[in-house]
Structure formats: structure tokens, C-alpha cells
Amino acid sequence: MNFNIAVIPGDGIGPEVVDESIKVLSKIGEKYNHNFEFEFLQAGGCAIDSLGTPLPDKTLEVCKKSDAVLLGAVGGPKWDDPNAKVRPEQALLGLRGGLNLYCNLRPALLYKALKEASPLKDTIIGDGIDICVVRELTGGIYFGERGREVVDGVVSAYDTERYNIKEIERIVRIGFDTAMKRNKKLTSVDKANILESSRLWRSVVEEMSKDYPEVEVNHLYIDNASMQLVKDPRQFDVIVTSNMFGDILSDEASMITGSIGMLPSASLGEGTLGMYEPIHGSAPDIAGKGIANPLATILSTAMMLRYSFNLEDEAKDIENAVVKVLEEGYRTGDIKSEGTTLVGTKEMGDLVVERI
């Protein structure tokens, strides 16, 4: 089969980790007789530098027509001036919003071989951590009205958390559907003791739970949820939450499973078009050194094969290859522990390719 993939390497370590993922996809193409066409596009800080805009029209247009988008990372200290009119992150929000990718799946899995890399005690980790964060991605405070104004001679700034019931329903439904495919437990995270938008969110979850009698549902406030995640992560199966809370909880979930360098993500909408990216950022401190962990991006391509191309065997092949490499003791610096072999970005990519 033929698939057109829009590739946005972006900034920092983005290009390095994307290169390895393309090697992996090409190997899959060879082995299973698929033809992956890659079209390279600019977005983020590099696009600001060369074209004056974080998200050139052409990039969004090509992404819309593609079968899937592979993204490395955007941003970096060079473009971090808080007063700047254009910021690399606008590219991400522009892509998410422009492609209507309202659902962000962030699976946080603790690989057995990486137990050592988790900061949590063995007694807490037990037989492993396996959580899927379902994050709303095109609404809430990320997309609400914001601005600055002078009130009574004092400068003030505001951002708005706003959700309509349709936006909540479509993401909560995915939360329930995801739970049905897993261990049938759904935790909805909100701040309903304070926020009106959270109270609406909670009522939607309650109402929809009637359609899913098999799913065990509970509600946690975000402060409690972030505590429970380190205290007893095994209580979680699927977490469904807003854009902002999902951003925070998914970073925390990644850390307890060893490294932010391991976590993939899929951003999905109504159709099969999806955007696939590691949840880590551009890591400017290690960019260009060839030491970044490419596994999160490689695992994101597995999600691409699964969710956009419906190629489950091929997706599993990549995931199994990653497990093998880890079990054989190969590690990038972020997940290195005693007695394992340190490898760089390219070697890690090669090791995965060899095991496919």
C-alpha cells in the first residue's frame, strides 16, 4: 500500500529523532511491501528563521492532504522571548487546531527492562505501570480567549478555560472506548471543586457512563490525581482529562515510567489523519550531539501504523523490536543504568531496525 507522510523535523533534537524513525518506517516498508512517501516540511523555530512564520501555509496544506504527520519537536531558547509576537509553539497549536486533532493519546508504559530508570520504589511499581492518558487537544485554556489589558492603571493578563458540551462529549467518548479496549477503568481528572468548566465536564462523564456499564468510573481533582500518580500509579488504567491537565499529567506519567524520552503520542480527529510525535520537547541542551533517545519518536511511528494506517502487525513489529533492544541492555543516556550499554541516537535507531 501507498502512504503519504508529512514530516516536520522541527527544532533541537527533532531532526535527529525523526531521522531514526524514518529509517524504521523504511525498514517496515521493505519488509511488508508498503511504500511510504515522505514530504519534508518546515514548522517551529526554524520556520520563523527562514520564513518569518512558525507555521507556513504550505505546511498546513500539505499536512491536510497527507495520510499522517510525523513531527519531531519545536521550540528552543532562541525563540523564547516572552514578548515575541511569533513563537514556535504556535506551530503545534496551529497544526492541532488546523487539522482538528482533538484527541491526544499518550500511553505511559513501564517496560520491564527499564524498571531501574523509574524514580519510584519497587514496592510502588509492583508488576508494572500501564496507563493511557487521553488528553483533549483543541480546546480549553490553550485555545480560549487571552490577552492583556490595563485595569485601573495596572497591567493584567488573562487566559480562558472554556469547553462546550460537544467538545467534552467527543473526548470523553474516546476515554470510554479506550477503557473498553483495556482494563475497563476510567479516571476523569478535573477541578470541579473550583471550575465551572470542570463541573460541566464531570456531568458529561456521569451521563455517558450509563452507556458503558462495564467501565468502572471515578473522578479525581487534578491536585489529587498528580499525587496519586506517584503514590499508587497502578490504580490507573485510562485517564481522560482537559488539554492543560493532560499536558501536566502526561509529563508526570512519563517520568514515573523511566524517561520522557520513551513516550510516544498520537493526535487524532474524526478521520484517519493523525499527527504522531514524541511527548518530549526539543531538548536544546543535547541537540546536535547525537545522544538523544529516538525511541519515543520511533514508538510514535508504531502508533501511526496502528491508528492512521490500520497496520497492527507492523506496529507490533516496531514495539517488539524496541522491547528487544531494551532487554538486550542497550540504553541512551536518559535511561542508562548500571550494567547496560550506552549507545547514541543513530546506534539506537540501527538496533531497532536490525530487530524488525
| Nearest-angstrom CA–CA distance, 229 and 222 | 10
Minimum Å distance from CB 301 to ligand IPM?
17
Nearer to Mg ion, 19 or 89 (CB): 89
The residue whose Cβ lies closest to Mg ion is 247
- 75 is annotated as contributing to ligand binding: no
- In the complex with ligand IPM, the residue whose CB is nearer, 3 or 102, is 102
Question: What positions carry a catalytic annotation?
Answer: 142, 191, 223, 247, 251
Which amino acid appears at position 272 of this protein?
T
**CB 102, CB 269: distance < 8 Å:** yes
| Amino acid, res. 62 | V
89 binds ligand IPM (CB under 6 A): yes
262 neighbors 299 (Cβ within 8 angstroms): yes
Decide if residue 326 touches ligand IPM (CB under 6 A).
Answer: no
Q: Is 271 annotated as a binding residue?
A: no
- Whole-angstrom CA distances from 155 to 43, 82, 147 are 32, 15, 11
Sign of the dihedral through C-alpha 292, 102, 310, 179: positive
- Alpha carbon dihedral 226, 229, 235, 237, in 10-degree steps, equals 90
Nearer CB in complex with Mg ion: 70/249: 249
In the shown chain, the binding pattern of residues 206 to 245 toward ligand IPM, with x for contact by CB under 6 A and - for none, equals: ----------------------------------------
Q: Does 281 bind ligand IPM (CB under 6 A)?
A: yes
Give the total of residues touching ligand IPM (CB under 6 A). Answer: 6
CA dihedral 185, 113, 347, 354 (to 10 degrees): -80
Residue 247 vs 277, nearer CB to Mg ion: 247
* Helix extents (H) in the chain: 14-32, 45-51, 57-65, 89-98, 122-125, 165-181, 196-209, 222-231, 243-256, 295-307, 312-327, 345-354
* Site for ligand IPM contains 92 (CB under 6 A): yes
Q: Kindly state the cell numbers that stand for 112.
A: 520491564
The answer to whether 223 is a known ligand-binding residue is yes
The correct pick among 247, 277, 314, 319 for binding Mg ion (CB under 5 A) is: 247
136 binds ligand IPM (CB under 6 A): no
283 assigned to a ligand binding site: yes
Annotated binding site: 76-89, 96, 106, 135, 223, 247, 251, 281-293
Contacting residues toward ligand IPM, per CB under 6 A: 75, 89, 92, 247, 279, 281
